[in-house]
A and B are shown apart, each in its own frame.
Chain A
Amino acid sequence: MDILESFPIKIDRLKKAYFSSAERRIFLKKGECLLREGDANQRLFLVISGSLVGRQALNTPGSEEERYIDVLFAGPDDFIGVYSFFSASYTSLMTLLAVEDCEIAYVENGMDAIEPEKYGTFVEQFMPIMIREMALRYQRLVEQGKEKEATLYRLNRLETAATLGQLAAGLSHELNNAVGVLTRKTEYINNFIDKAILSITPENHALFKLGENCDRILSSGELRKISREYETRFQLSATQAKTLAKIAPTEEILANLGKNFPQEIDERSMYWILGHDLHDMKLAAEHAAGIVRSVRILGGSHFKREPGISVYKSFEGAIALLKQNLKGISLFTDFKEEYRNLEMYADRTELAQIWVNLIKNATDALKEAKTENPEIHVSYYSKGAYLVAEIKDNGPGVPQELQEKIFQPDFTTKKNGLSFGLGLGLTIVKRLVDSYYGEIIIDSEPKKTIFKVKLLLGDNYGKN
């Protein structure tokens, strides 16, 4: 609400009538003081040019340091001394300092009203100014309240992030070491067993290798179907048939194992199982390492944000990281030349993290749905104070009812064995985007899903 607009007062007449005298004028240099808090004041001032700040001392008993709060800013056409003048206290409520060189006009207490027959008494003529002044002060109070609220919110968020960050940093360090040991020792054991089998029972080495490199995941239904077939075909018990189905789900593998294998299942299956266990252990360790990395970022262990981070390079980095995932998918980087040198106040790791998560999500969605001619388009541009980036895919899309849910920490659509989704990807993105005072918008329909990310570009971020 602009008080000046909602209070269309005839300031011009008052200015002309009361404040045009060349005698009642004060000129202040920048830094000079008009009045001190508590000074006697019999004048009502009008700022002609320049600006002043009004300050009140904060009572801090026992403190040597002088602290004060700015309670008023006055520029051209603003009145000063309204309180002391009209409340008849004739004592200045605040110290008034010139922020720049000022020209100030004033009227003295006890002055006669001008044209009272037409405009009423002195007080009546100045009534709108009193009201306007009160309204302005009220508005300022409201704004201060809002500012305080915003500051508290920011502080609170920072505190949460800091605690989480410390916790995450400690956790990830400890876990990383533990996972590292598990990974390494698994490797040792794997190599040892590999050699042992090769020398003790070479005929079972291929079987061990088959288990170790088995990435095939059969659904329980498929497995049941195959094992029922094997049960009758090879006269096996249900348990034996199931084991055989796991080892040799296709005729090709079955043939490679030799025609006697089904009958030898009890004696030989353990080599495959051993290999497969090692495979799972390695995969689990890798997955745990991945989780540790994600948690560290989720904890918001803030990296170093600085100006001059190239948006183009952040995309380049993200795409390089995803080379493996992008196999079989056409990636189009629609980067316009004019934004090639676009820079922002950011941390390059955080930026890359946002792009990596969104692009990887798109690749996962395309693969999961087995989309034909899968495509991902990546582009960015600047709009006002914001960077806008778009990641578009031609996958099946995100159903309307899930669009809110996908940002929740435990939501995931990925379920393939140990490489299942942690359900943290988009949560991380959301948090990061929030921390850049940005937003993320999903626009999704079958064959066209766009994740649009807006991030604040500028140095305004510096408030953090």
Chain B
Amino acid sequence: MAKINILCVDDQPEVLETITRDLQPLENFFQIETADSVQDAKALLQELDGKSIKVGLVISDHVMPGEETGVDLLRFVDNDIRFAKTRKILLTGQAGHTDTIRAINEAHIDNYFDKPWDAAELLKAAKKLLSKYVLDSGLDYEDYMKVLDLDELLKSLKKG
């Protein structure tokens, strides 16, 4: 079974560590990668794609130092055909901000979390979005049964 990647992006190492730890229950089924800047995240996306490694989910912080923000990164992912099925979560310290609202619309973000987020909620959202990714990509969901979101599976099965 090909390990699908989850990419987490935040400029603060402590926060990055918190995200990965929140997602630890997924570790046996998904590979969790981290990047501390938009630049590094883009480089990593290129690298993974070059190795034909799938990226199922990108979780990014909004405001980071540097020229590009997390929204720019998610917009980049959204516009790139290679990551058409990749799901996106935005972490933000300023929900309700006009920039954030615009971002959600423009980058087709699946979910946003206000900082500080609830660990269980983030894990739940990640599971749900990864389930969608697995189903959309036509992968064998049996491999991921233990961690996937059952509601999503059922919904998809009913449709199918």
Contact = CB atoms under 8 A, between A and B. Distances in A.
Interface SS of chain B: helix, strand, loop or mixed?
mixed
Contacts of B37: 219-220
Interface of B: 11-14, 16-17, 27, 31-37, 40, 43-44, 63-65
Nearest to B14: A280
A220 B36 contact: yes
Contacts of B31: 238
Given A284-B14, A417-B12, A220 B65 contact: no
B40 A219 contact: yes
Across chains A and B, which 8 residue pairs bring their CB atoms closest together, nearest first?
A220-B36, A415-B65, A220-B35, A220-B34, A280-B14, A415-B11, A417-B13, A221-B40
A215 to B, nearest CB: 11
Which of B14, B33, B43 is most buried by chain A, counting CB atoms within 10 A of its CB?
Answer: B14
A274 to B, nearest CB: 12
Contact of B12 (A239, A410, A413, A420): A420
A415 B39 CA distance: 15
A418 B13 CA distance: 8
B34 A223 contact: yes
16 contacts: A218-B13, A220-B34, A220-B37, A220-B40, A220-B44, A221-B36, A223-B34, A224-B33, A224-B44, A239-B27, A239-B32, A280-B14, A280-B17, A283-B14, A415-B11, A420-B11
B6 to A, nearest CB: 12
Interface residues on A, range: 20 to 34
A218 B13 CA distance: 8
A217 B63 CA distance: 20
A277 B62 CA distance: 24
Contacts of B43: 221
B21 to A, nearest CB: 9
A252 to B, nearest CB: 21
A220 B36 CA distance: 6
Given A219-B40, A413-B65, A418 B14 contact: yes
A238 B20 CA distance: 13
A200 B27 CA distance: 30
A223 B13 CA distance: 11
A354 to B, nearest CB: 25
B61 to A, nearest CB: 11
Interface string A280-306: 100110000000000000000000000
Given A410-B63, A415-B64, A415-B65, 16 more contacts: A219-B37, A220-B34, A220-B36, A220-B40, A220-B44, A224-B34, A239-B32, A280-B17, A283-B14, A284-B14, A412-B65, A413-B65, A415-B11, A415-B12, A417-B14, A420-B11
